Amino acid sequence: MRPILIIHNDSRSSEIVASLIANQMQFAMREITTDVLNNIGSIIEEEDAALLIIGLNNDREIQPYLNKCRELRVPYIFVKNDLPLDYNIETILLPVTNLEEEREKGPYTSSLSRHFNSHIKFYQPNDYGTKAATNIEAMKVLFNSFCLSHTTTQGKKDSSNIELETAKSHINTPNSILIISASRDYGLDDIIFGPKERKILKTTNIPTMLINPRGDLYALCD
């Protein structure tokens, strides 16, 4: 049985999410400590871990964790405190940008939706081009093959800000999870002001899954 690795930092909420996913998707659970973060990629490979769940106590912790997780081949979920004990994944918030790697969100979203019977809410950016819409249509083909429930909302922001817009519009939305892509590279602005995922994680208080933009990601489940 593949494990979920948890860095809970005395966070009850991270344990709630980990237990929920482990029970529903038939994973084991293993707690790890922050002192192994420098080797987290190797540990995930050795354990054949399916997922990493990180409990956040304050916003100062976000960037150090992002730095350590940038090369992971599995998704990682950040969880802040104060989730209710009966938390469930009823809605998956799925903003989609114009980048090709956005399609990597599809299999992970599909796995969660199938196991939790979750409704998928696409958020389409207000772009001039059609790349984001094409990405959404490609994911719809996958979701429709499993008869998954999904709807699409037209956002006001373009691809560079649609994930943050989605996060801001769903603060305190119960029983939901946000799925976003991690930045491919850090530019100068990212180094000085922080990457877009840090801004999103500081804004939202719902569990947020990050997926790294690489072509050799591990599947969450069969």
The answer to whether residue 190 sits within a structural domain is: yes
Average pLDDT over residues 4-20: 90
The answer to whether residue 97 sits within a structural domain is: yes
Mean pLDDT, the chain, whole residue set: 91
The answer to whether residue 62 sits within a structural domain is: yes
pLDDT digits (tens, 9 = 90+) for 36-85: 888 999 999 999 999 999 999 899 999 999 999 989 999 999 999 889 99
The answer to whether residue 193 sits within a structural domain is: yes
The answer to whether residue 216 sits within a structural domain is: no
Dmax (CA) for the chain in angstroms is: 46
Total domain count for the chain?
1
Nearest one of 209, 201, 182 to 101, comparing CA atoms? 182
Domain span including residue 54: 3-211
Tell how strand 76-80 and strand 208-211 pair up: antiparallel
What is the pLDDT at residue 190?
53
CATH number at residue 85: 3.40.50.12370
Highest mean pLDDT: which range of 21-25, 80-84, 187-191: 21-25
What is the pLDDT at residue 27?
96
The answer to whether residue 20 sits within a structural domain is: yes
The answer to whether residue 221 sits within a structural domain is: no
The answer to whether residue 222 sits within a structural domain is: no
80: Cβ contacts below 8 Å, ≥ 6 apart? 11, 13, 56, 205
Average pLDDT over residues 168-189: 84
